[in-house]
Amino acid sequence: MKRKPIVCILLITLMLTVLCPIQAMADTQGFPDIDGHWAKDYISQLALSGYIKGYLDGKFKPDNTMSKAEFTTLLIASLGSTASDKTTNNFSDTSKHWAKAQINEAVKLGILLVSEDPNGFCPDEGIMRSQAAAMLVRALGKDPDSSPVSFKDKSTIDKSMYKGYIKTASDLGLISGFPNGNFEPFTSMTRAQVCTVMVKFLNQLDGTSSGLPASNINTSTGSINTIAIDEQSYNIGTTPLYLNINFQDIRISSISSGTSSFKLNGLHTFDLNSETNNPDIIVNNNRYGVKSYKISGSKLLVTSRCRKFNKISAGTYTFGSDYVKLYINSANSERYLSDLEISDEYNVKVAGKNYNLSQDKITVALNQDFYDIKKITLSNTETTPLLSKTDPVIFNGMSTSDIMAIFTGTTTLNLAQISTIDFILGGKRYNMSRVVMDAKGNFTANSTTYSPVDVIMIVNNDTQYKINNVAVANSKFLFYCSEGSNHEWVVIDNEYYDFADVSIIWSNSIYDLNEVMVVSRNILRIKGKQYDLDSSFKVRFNNKIYDIESINYDSSISATVITTGSESSSNIANQPTKYIFYRSTTKYQEGTSNATIYADGSWINFDQILITDPSHFSYENNSYNLIGIRVKIDKVEFKVVDTSWHGLTQVLDFYIEET
């Protein structure tokens, strides 16, 4: 496929204007948050060429994860393809998504295969390196290669359905591995990383060797021959010195100074007298975090703020610290060894927090192994850790073979009878192979980490268990769960909600979902009568009311599934988010957790009524006056003498007097 340059630029500009539908994109130049960033040149040149834009606040946010939908949209636009199909629903979770047309076009072009995501595309999840590789290879019309890969994490790659595409993408130079030899197929890509990949992809389309024009270079006014790091001076011509730029150690061959900046090797410009975005400087095997760079005559003065590891070795392998994952006290994080600042042989700092190596477990991942840092040796030529091999602290791409036991109450589950395990994390459902777990028992999905007590386990698409604790023994997991329950879920627009937190509104009455039977798709039974879904039915959750486009019961996941329309604009949508009770002029209580209201001959909860206006409410299709109605708070009965909305918010004030 040949790229159409002018159309492509216009399409990508248009596409990236809607990458984040909530906020418009801003100007393409001068992003304040990419100075000193390793991908600055790629980002800047792609922006100047019209390929990508920043956000309304002027920032680019290079380290934000790029979603599958955003990556798909960028890729389709780069091909010059017109995404016009907004009606086909290739995936169950893209029917209302802003990138539906682009996703459909990717399916049409064979870049995405519906069969690979039978449970939904998950468009807002981060694009994994493995899937990005597959999409890029398919977009170029290339085939997967089943021959062995050269990456050290081959066993992890073998768990990916895209392993053949990883081999091809690597051979084509589209996505390379990390300096530690790993590919990390299940890692999500950031906006900055995607920029570098897209440059390589556009090069392949154009058949060129470089997709970036030459960097703009300021005229320099002076020449530097000496660098002084704190109290020690080094001659540029005789001592190998490096600046760490774009995760690469760039040998300093020349430095020229301007009035407010200096230039490295005639290519990279950095601010003087700045305390932010300064590149680290490396001499011998010592790496220094820099507080500031200053010029004094022909000398560049470097004031360091900390020492860091530059490289770290294990066995016959040596790894750059920018690519070594760092774990603190066995917990998952997005930290790397280069984020660790060294104070002395036992004291370090990460993200502003101090740790002591004799008390805290500071772990690094080197190749397939994990090591604790026990002590640090500091000298003028070396910054060297004392490493002790330890058990793994991070597990991904897991299966039931990684589980030692699942305890449920006083019994254990028969692992041989378990075919699938899913987890519900933050309202999303993930297969076990798509979550990351650490040795503390925490779960990570889509760059968010969850405590075990916030996770629900679903076994064989049937039985649910609440996880109380997770332990690790011999690199296998032990789950301690509450006994199997019949906890019911509602899946609304692909998000999981507790059954009790969702209600159906119809004919000015609120019905809990246990009062509504979903007979079949869009057919409901309420109080013994059957109805076809129409615009009179609404759903309430998260204190808002929405139109219902479709409703069904999915027996495969044991859940009611609802697709919503727009937020309701009718008067019933204007429900209070909070009630406040006043006795005389004094606040008596805020909230209704222990309050009931008398209607239809019984005491009912406030979440069962509809406020039709400040003076009336409805229940079971009957209307009642609020003024004079009885309410009960902690068994004390009151009469409502007046009501009013609280300012411009959805807070309804009740003025009560004891009966």
CA–CA distances in Å: residue 559 to residues 467, 486, 498, 522, 526: 20, 11, 10, 15, 18
Asked if the model's pLDDT at residue 209 lies above 60, the reply is no
Asked if the model's pLDDT at residue 207 lies above 80, the reply is no
Q: Which of 14-23, 289-298, 483-492 has the highest mean pLDDT?
A: 289-298
Asked if the model's pLDDT at residue 12 lies above 70, the reply is no
Q: In this predicted model, what pLDDT tens digit does every residue of 623-656 receive, in sequence order?
A: 899 999 999 999 899 999 999 887 656 788 999 9
Q: In this predicted model, what pLDDT tens digit does every residue of 267-295 receive, in sequence order?
A: 778 899 988 889 999 998 899 999 999 99
In this prediction, residue 58 carries a pLDDT of 80
Owner of token pair 């650490």: 438
Q: In this predicted model, what pLDDT tens digit does every residue of 592-610 receive, in sequence order?
A: 989 999 998 899 988 888 8
Asked if the model's pLDDT at residue 5 lies above 60, the reply is no
Question: Whole-angstrom Cα distance, residue 11 to residue 102?
Answer: 11
Q: Which of 368, 358, 375, 407 is nearest to 391 (CA)?
A: 368
Q: Per-residue b/e over 366-393, b at no fewer than 16 CB within 10 Å?
A: beeebbbbeebeeeeeebbbebeebebb
In this prediction, residue 211 carries a pLDDT of 40
Q: Is 642 exposed, middle or buried (0-12, 13-18, 19+ CB in 10 A)?
A: middle
Query: What percentage of the chain carries pLDDT values higher than 70?
Result: 89
Asked if the model's pLDDT at residue 25 lies above 90, the reply is no
Pairing type for strands 559-567 and 489-492 reads parallel
Q: Is 221 exposed, middle or buried (0-12, 13-18, 19+ CB in 10 A)?
A: exposed
- Do 626 and 614 form a contact (C-beta atoms < 8 A)? yes
Q: Is 29 exposed, middle or buried (0-12, 13-18, 19+ CB in 10 A)?
A: exposed
Pairing type for strands 299-309 and 226-229 reads parallel
The number of C-alpha atoms within 13 Å of 539 and in the hemisphere containing its C-beta is 27
In this prediction, residue 157 carries a pLDDT of 92
In this prediction, residue 359 carries a pLDDT of 95
Q: Considering only residues 302 and 541, tell me which one the structure prediction assigns the higher pLDDT.
A: 302
Q: In this predicted model, what pLDDT tens digit does every residue of 48-72 receive, in sequence order?
A: 655 677 776 788 889 999 999 989 9
Question: Whole-angstrom Cα distance, residue 321 to residue 565?
Answer: 49
Q: Which of 310, 387, 306 is nearest to 350 (CA)?
A: 306
E strand or H helix that includes residue 525: strand 523-526
E strand or H helix that includes residue 596: strand 595-599
| CB atoms inside a 10 Å sphere around CB 27 | 11
- Do 69 and 91 form a contact (C-beta atoms < 8 A)? no
DSSP state of 65: B
Structure tokens at 321: 């610290």
Structure tokens at 405: 């036991």
Asked if the model's pLDDT at residue 453 lies above 50, the reply is yes
The number of C-alpha atoms within 13 Å of 168 and in the hemisphere containing its C-beta is 22
Q: In this predicted model, what pLDDT tens digit does every residue of 551-588 receive, in sequence order?
A: 999 887 778 999 998 887 665 656 787 899 999 889 99
User: Average of pLDDT values for 528-537?
Assistant: 91
Q: Considering only residues 657 and 28, tell me which one the structure prediction assigns the higher pLDDT.
A: 657
Asked if the model's pLDDT at residue 228 lies above 70, the reply is yes
Asked if the model's pLDDT at residue 37 lies above 50, the reply is yes
Report domain extents, the chain. 5-127+188-206, 222-307, 310-390, 395-481, 489-573, 578-658
Query: What percentage of the chain carries pLDDT values higher than 90?
Result: 42
User: Average of pLDDT values for 23-27?
Assistant: 35
